[in-house]
Amino acid sequence: MSRAHRGRGGVLLVVVALFLASGCAGRSGGAGGAAGGELPPPIRQVLPNGLRLIVQDHRAADIVAVYLYVGVGVRYERPDQLGYSHFQEHMLFKGTDKWGPGYIDRTVEGVGGRTNATTSFDFTDFYMLVPKESTETAIQTLADMAFRSSFDPNEVAREREVIFEEANIETDNPKTAIVRQLYGMVFADNPYGYPVLGTRPTMNAATSAILKAYNKQYYAPENMTLVVAGPVDVKTVRGMVDRIWGVIPSTGYKPVSAPTPRPLTGIVRKSVERPEQQARLALGWQAPPTNDLNGDTVDLLTTILAGAESSRLAVRLRDQERLVSSITMSYSAQMGGGIVSLRAELEAKDLERVEQIILEEIARMQADGPTEEERQLAVIRAESQHAFDTETSDGLANAYAIAETTWTLDAELGYVDRLGKITREQIRDAARRYLSRADYARIAFQPKQ
């Protein structure tokens, strides 16, 4: 999509969160590794009301990134609440008791900043990137959005239509649609398989009062993390946050444990006829949850199989046999259970052959493990991703916020070092344990005959 902008909270962003943020930035950020060097470590503090605050001094630009992560997302929704986390996210931009719709956009863009939000399974995030002089405005505006949104019934009705359009876009885009459906197959009857955008009946049932109650239930300081990164002074930031966020009373919110998915058994297959001529194949497996350190090994495994340009499957299927025009594999960690997904673009006639080769390569990895060169390559890619994350204040802020929300900041900071210690045998064993050739989900998009 070459749209000038994607709209806030779009499904595209949701997918970005799934495959870039959760899968990678979340696990593979890790400042403080050997490569970082110049950056001081982040400061983490907890306010008396439970709000977690992380401040990172980062002087590459005069831009401050402020990220708010809230522990609410699709996995918190009951079946009759599907889509409410995302609807909530949209409504926080539509006005508060202090200002009306459009205020945020004018305020943030009026100082040359940017703002957007994403809804995912374990969290909802909001960010503002602003010139450093406007740091307090960003911190204040995010607090107003979180705690003082008005949920005007007319705005609720209008925004519902906008979200229905967003659903049309998701359906039209095969890249996002196939991922969405794969989640539904890998996490059958589990919130991680629910649609982020909800369903027509649940969305039509959402009223101003219902969304307000949802806000009250989850938007509590003890269920939030605020990250401020940029050319900032910790004391000054803490002063602002105390003044603006410190006065919000805690609500006694107790976190809900993430639902463990039912194991995937057998090969779940699905073929979908689509209007596009480009065929697509996606395979999915259940994988370790965020707090399981086996996830580190799965990160290396997926990089070696199809997560890099010179990965095994890319070389064999794209360069040697020329059966796919693209192939990629990634691990996305979530609190209740992760997912490994493999996606390829190919011609419909090659679907079976490509699936067969993928299974062959998995079998080879399960028998012999990776080569030493492959192991090193996967580690260096993780190091490099961390290094590129440190280029910008928002890259770091986002990685920290995801880690704090779904894992721990410390686990994140030690990530690159831990990866370096993983052996080839461990990677082989992870292939045996997590990439079953008998239990996986498989979906194909094919052109209509």
Partner 1 sequence: MSRRITASLLLALAIVATAPPRRAAAAESAAGAVTRTKLANGMTVLVRENPTAPVVAISLMLRMGTRWETRQNAGISNFLQLMVVRGTTLRDGTQIVSVADRMGGSIDAYADADYAEIPATALSRYWGEMLDLVAEIALKPSIPDGTNQAVRDFLARQIRNRADKPYDAAFDSLMARTYGDNPYAWDPLGLKESLERMDRAALLAHYRRHYVPGAMVLAVSGKVKSAEVVARAEGLFGALSAASAPAPNATPAPAPASARAVLTVPGAQAQILMGGLAPSLTDPDLAAMKVASTILGGGLSSRFFSELRDKQGLAYTTAAREPMRVGAGYFLALLGTAPANKEKAEAALREQLERIQRQAVSGEELRVAKASLLGSLAMDRRTNARQAWYMASLEVAGVGHEFLDRYVAQVRAVTAADVQRAAQRYLATVRTVVAEPAQ
**Range 393-432, binding partner 1 (CB under 8 A):** 393-395
Which residues fall within 8 angstroms of residue 424, CB to CB, at 6 or more apart? 369, 370, 371, 372, 375
Smaller CB distance to partner 1: residue 47 or 342? 342
Smaller CB distance to partner 1: residue 29 or 336? 29
Neighbours of 238 (CB within 10 A): 17
Least distance CB 358 / partner 1 (angstroms)? 15
Least distance CB 52 / partner 1 (angstroms)? 23
118-148 core/surface letters (b: 16 or more CB in 10 A; e: else) = bbbbbbbbbbbbbbeebbbbbbbbbbbbbbe
422 secondary structure, DSSP code: -
Least distance CB 51 / partner 1 (angstroms)? 25
Q: Which two tokens stand for residue 383?
A: 């190091």
Please state the φ and ψ torsions of residue 268, each to the nearest 5 degrees.
-95, 115
Residue 374 exposure: Cα atoms within 13 Å on the Cβ side:
26
311 binds partner 1 (CB under 8 A): yes
Smaller CB distance to partner 1: residue 251 or 278? 278
Smaller CB distance to partner 1: residue 82 or 128? 128
Cβ distance 29 to 389 under 8 Å? yes
Question: Of these, 205, 244, 268, 315, which contacts partner 1 (CB under 8 A)?
Answer: 315
4 binds partner 1 (CB under 8 A): yes
Question: Of these, 44, 49, 61, 242, which contacts partner 1 (CB under 8 A)?
Answer: 61
Its sign, for the CA torsion 237, 239, 245, 250, is positive
First-to-last CA distance in the chain? 26
Least distance CB 227 / partner 1 (angstroms)? 15
Question: Of these, 80, 105, 273, 360, which contacts partner 1 (CB under 8 A)?
Answer: 105
CB burial of residue 290 (10 Å; 0-12, 13-18, 19+):
buried
CA separation for the pair 10, 23 (Å, rounded): 18
Least distance CB 36 / partner 1 (angstroms)? 7
Which residues fall within 8 angstroms of residue 101, CB to CB, at 6 or more apart? 93, 94, 95, 152, 155
Q: Among the candidate windows 60-68, 210-218, 416-424, 434-442, which touches partner 1 by CB under 8 A? A: 60-68
129 binds partner 1 (CB under 8 A): yes
Give residues 366-385 in contact with partner 1 (rule: CB under 8 A): 376-377, 380-381, 383-385
Smaller CB distance to partner 1: residue 47 or 358? 358
Least distance CB 50 / partner 1 (angstroms)? 29
Least distance CB 232 / partner 1 (angstroms)? 14
Least distance CB 247 / partner 1 (angstroms)? 28
Q: Which two tokens stand for residue 152?
A: 């005007």
Smaller CB distance to partner 1: residue 218 or 415? 415
Smaller CB distance to partner 1: residue 3 or 421? 3
113 binds partner 1 (CB under 8 A): yes
247 binds partner 1 (CB under 8 A): no
162 binds partner 1 (CB under 8 A): yes
Question: Of these, 112, 153, 239, 266, which contacts partner 1 (CB under 8 A)?
Answer: 112
169 binds partner 1 (CB under 8 A): yes
Smaller CB distance to partner 1: residue 144 or 159? 159
Give residues 338-357 in contact with partner 1 (rule: CB under 8 A): 345, 347
Q: Which residues pair with 261 in a beta bridge?
A: none
Give me the torsion for CA of 18, 269, 449, 280, rounded to 10°: 30
Least distance CB 427 / partner 1 (angstroms)? 16
Give residues 22-51 in contact with partner 1 (rule: CB under 8 A): 23-25, 28, 35-38
The rounded Cα 52 to chain-centroid distance in angstroms is 20
Question: Of these, 41, 110, 153, 266, which contacts partner 1 (CB under 8 A)?
Answer: 110
Q: Is 37 left (phi over 0), alpha (psi -120 to 50) or beta?
A: left
328 binds partner 1 (CB under 8 A): yes
Residue 384 exposure: Cα atoms within 13 Å on the Cβ side:
8
Q: State how far the alpha carbon of 51 is from the alpha carbons of 142, 217, 220, 223, 253, in Å.
A: 13, 15, 8, 7, 12
2 binds partner 1 (CB under 8 A): yes
Alpha helices in 102-250 (DSSP H): 103-110, 135-148, 153-172, 174-186, 200-205, 208-218, 234-244
Determine the size of the site formed for partner 1 (CB under 8 A). 97
Question: Of these, 199, 250, 278, 408, which contacts partner 1 (CB under 8 A)?
Answer: 278
